[in-house]
Structure 1
Amino acid sequence: MVFQRFYTYPPVECEWKWILRNIKQKAIPHSHEIVDIGIYDLLNPPYKHSNDKLQKWVEVETNGWKVVPDCPDLKGEFGKPIDFSNTDYSWELLTEYYNPSDESHLPVLQSEYENIKSFKEYIKQFKDNYGMVDKVAIGSICKADNHDIGVKMLKIARREFPNTWIHAFGLRFQQFKKAYQLIDSFDSTSWTFPRVGGQGKGSCKNKSERIEYFFDYIQRINEVTFSINNEQGVLV
């Protein structure tokens, strides 16, 4: 049993309640889904979302949440030669596409890569304009190489939004135990890599490996979850 909602796009042969997909991926059966515009198109010039893609996001219908378009730090995280601020661009997208009255909209808190000051400033700007909201997502902060900074930013987010549903994008497994009580849901696709001997072995290469790695990852999450609850004396 997974006690925090874990969103992912599972192997086609596997059922999973909580689905994360980008707007190009096929919708599959779910209890709840998060639909993301995706960032991979941003890794090539002009390093911004196309109007066609943004319009497609507007037109996507879901009974779950749609991630309001944003932009990670393409220079700091990916080394791209951009000449604009990712936080400024993310804010432009937020003010244009976020409708707080639309229950499907999931806004993203962004920052410069591994920059706590930038994150705090973005949160202040968000709260000054939108106040307390029922849900927010934390951008690619959780993918930071410095795991402690990622967890610290999650602590800041929880302090600033004590009663808000917090979703962590791309939470690294190494951060899960420390982040467990700070978030309400998270996602990852890193289950496509093997648990043992992963370094240099590469991602799964066939259907059977995809299924094996997926259930192995779920087992790892459950192991950590049970460990946390046992340490805290919680009945599971």
Structure 2
Amino acid sequence: MASEDRSPSAGIMPILYEDNHLLAVVKPPGILSQADDTLEPDMVTLLKQDLKDRYSKPGNVFVGLVHRLDRPVGGAMLFAKTSKAASRLSESVRSRSFDKQYIAVVHHTPGKPQDRLRHYLRKDAARNIVTVHNSPVEGAKEAVLDYVVVAKHQNCTLVAVKLLTGRSHQIRAQMAAIGCPLVHDRKYGAPAVDGELDIALWSASVGVAHPITKEWMTFQSTPPLASPWSRFSGDDYRNALQYWPSRGNS
């Protein structure tokens, strides 16, 4: 008897915004940002198929990857629908005029209510893990982020994070380096739990100047009401997005 097809479909992804140039969606945790040699489902392929289906497009459909989210991370993610938009948005990422804000639930509470973390991360590709260094070392890249403590619940803390650089596993590794690993992130030191659970990291907001109109646009997403996210309130999540307001047209 054939098993039920439970492969992910782009049709179940909430669309935050769409026009002829941009597509902002909520990425589910567990899906790759783009295809790799595992041939497992990825966002680019799923969105291409969704656009073909929704608009009855023949032939190839263009979906340009603008930024990446680690596979276990969900939340707001932006894609380009034309090559011109992809080029301009990629330049925004390179020039650091692309805002990325995250929320995370971490074990313990950081020593400071807010701080800027600056480390140097070196990736071990064979183990798919990064090591954190306090000073430059060969093969390491500078990693900078700002965090703010938003709320506490027992031994867990909700933090808002603004990335100033975009390194692989950056938030996971840097928060672990200050003694606050993300909940369920066993790779970076979180306590073991039964079952495979998504790490407590969510892309809460992405902001960028529209590639054509130049209007500043911000796309926001809140995490699902499941543990550990359910330990915090809607007000907590709204407050988390107030620390670094959208730059608007300024």
Q: Would you say same fold, with TM above 0.5?
A: no
Higher-helix-fraction structure = 1
Query: Which band: TM-score by shorter chain?
Result: under 0.3
Identify the structure with the greater strand proportion: 2
Normalization by structure 1: what TM-score?
A: 0.26
